[in-house]
Homo-oligomer: A and B are copies of this chain.
Amino acid sequence: MRIAIVNPNTTQSMTQAAAASAGSAARSDTVLIEVTASTGVASVESHVDEAWGALSVVTEIERCEASAERPDAYVVACFGDTGVSAAREAAAGPVVGMTEAALMTASLVAHRFAVITMPKRTLRQSEQVVRNLGLEHRCTVLAVDETVAELAEGSLHLLDLFTAEGRLALDAYDAEAIVLGCAGLADLVGPLQAALGVPVIEGVAAAVTIAEGLVAQSLTTSRALTWARSSSPSEAVSA
């Protein structure tokens, strides 16, 4: 099975980190394909960045679809699930966003849970995904106010900040698990779980197992209405 890990930003080290997290949970015979946005923004930290990111997701998926070795499924590796709906129209196989995957996974191991995202200005974008899934009554979104650029070389230096916010989630919001709210935080899973004593969920790892499951069930996006194949990209032209 071939699963593409699509990073909507142009920072290759983030794609590698996401793919590494996916690899830690994927089946041994799953082939992970790293896909990095070829144009766009270096990190997605605003709604403007999301506009760039969503188009990058579509463009890269169209490229993959046209390639000789079309992936069986896609994981969109950006918290906020930028471009996931559009990706579903563009891809033949199923598409799983890391945020929806993380939230569903959390709901299976914890009654209440918290997302800790970053930077703080993206709080409402994460909440939007929570609300679309209808999980407002079970999920709180908190934030560490650091830029995603901070994560270029890993996230372990943020452990204290995440532990403090996680402690708040447990004490003040009765969270029983933590969802890491950014694609570059996989190396925090172990240390944070140790520090807090509750499950810590990384969305790319969660998403790759769910994508594997969809392929195993021979399921892909319904074309009945909302996510019918979109008109061809050649319609996007200069005026």
Contact = CB atoms under 8 A, between A and B. Distances in A.
Contacts of A100: 107-108
Q: Which of A37, A45, A216 has the most C-beta atoms of chain B within 10 angstroms of its own C-beta? A: A216
Contacts of A110: 221-222, 224, 226-227
A72 interface: no
A156 interface: no
A239 B90 contact: no
A179 to B, nearest CB: 12
Q: Which of A170, A205, A236, A237 has the most C-beta atoms of chain B within 10 angstroms of its own C-beta? A: A236
Contacts of A33: none
Given A47-B88, A90-B48, A237-B42, A199 B228 contact: no
Interface residues of A, number: 93
Interface in A100-135: 100, 104-105, 107-112, 120-121, 123-125, 128, 131-135
Interface of A: 10, 12, 24-27, 36-42, 45-52, 54-55, 57-58, 83, 85-86, 88-90, 94-96, 100, 104-105, 107-112, 120-121, 123-125, 128, 131-138, 170, 174-177, 197-199, 201-202, 205-206, 209-210, 212-214, 216-217, 219-222, 224-228, 230-231, 233, 235-239
17 contacts: A10-B237, A10-B239, A27-B27, A46-B89, A46-B228, A47-B85, A51-B51, A51-B54, A51-B55, A55-B55, A94-B109, A108-B214, A112-B124, A124-B225, A170-B224, A209-B214, A213-B213
